[in-house]
Structure 1
Amino acid sequence: MFKYRSEKHGNTPIKVYELFERHIEYKRGKIANQTLDKYHGVLSNLKTYFRERYAGNLTESDCEKFKSWLSEKLAPITLKQYLSAIKTAWEWAIARKMVSENPWIEIVKQVPRGKVKKPQPFTAQEVQRIIQHFRTHPEYSYYADYAEFLLCTGCRIEEAIALTWGDVTEDCSQIWFGKAYNRGDLRKLRQVKRVLCH
């Protein structure tokens, strides 16, 4: 005979997706919008797969089956991120006595990180050809200086548009990239980059 546990938040059992929704609400305002979007992707999959299941009744076997189902739709690196987010939500819920156990811990360990492709930068000749193409294009020539700046500094668009004159030395010999726009939000970069201008 299989015995189900009934975990409760207050006097009401909490469903799988409700637990994750509450975790999202807790995180709102503390994480970047991009991460929030990813959490909503996780939530959508939890709703689709677990439907009305209660969080306290989940076993490792249930989580393993969910991982297998999800792995057919996601790349390994994204799968790892999704499962890690769920595991963290359960840890948060345990601290608030919504559930008593975390069945996701071993599941996350089973997923390999996946290989991240090494960047293949343009050669110096390719950079010059791209810039030249912009300069001579009848419609997009006004982007030439911007494209040259991006290609020569190696910065990302969201870093470039966050720049202010305070990020550039007086003689324009160095640029500091320490912030970026992410979906309309200005945020500090974890690692500040310095670029020497020639």
Structure 2
Amino acid sequence: MSKYILLSLLAYFCGSIPSGVWIGKMVKGIDIRTVGSKNSGATNAYRTLGAKCGIATLILDALKGYLPLYVASHFDISDKYIVVIGLIAIFAHSMSCFLNFKGGKGVATSLGVFLFLAPKAVLVTFLGFAIVVYFTRYVSLSSITGAIILPIMVAVLPAKEGVDKMTLVILSFVIGAFVIYKHRSNISRLLNGTESKITFGKRG
């Protein structure tokens, strides 16, 4: 039982690390929660801190989802609990103990979790994300599109060997719904035509 508790704590504290906030403060002296969309995730980091910091935030946020699963896979625990570890990491990103239990929308951390659990599904989902963001410049719309595509791809494509497929499908639907819910304000702005677009090639 102790290993389950320790792995759960690892997933939570790893997922809670506010990459964008800490990078902004250390590199630029800026708290990204006070500028732009005031979100602590990679998109706002890209817009307010520049491309390098934004990409660094994206990578670190994805690792927050990937690494706890990688560590957990080396313990003798059920494949269903490995999926639970991923769920904890994703929710921790959005309810960080370092940010008064607030946080980002969970897209990048979900990417890291499913990159470990269902890499083929992630590749197809990322392709869909990239196409939408390229043609529309709306990261929010791309994230919502990815949240819709991912459960479908998880259902039809093979998962990582040893991972319970049904559990993973359920997780993908739960996380997809969670990501869309976290984007509810973005959906309102998209419908009103007031959502901000991203500009590629911003220096910083």
Task: Give the TM-score of the pair, scaled to structure 2.
Answer: 0.30
Which structure's relative contact order is higher, taking Cα pairs within 8 Å and 6+ residues apart? 2
Which of the pair has more CA radius of gyration?
1
Greater strand fraction, Structure 1 or Structure 2: 1
Task: Give the TM-score of the pair, scaled to structure 1.
Answer: 0.30
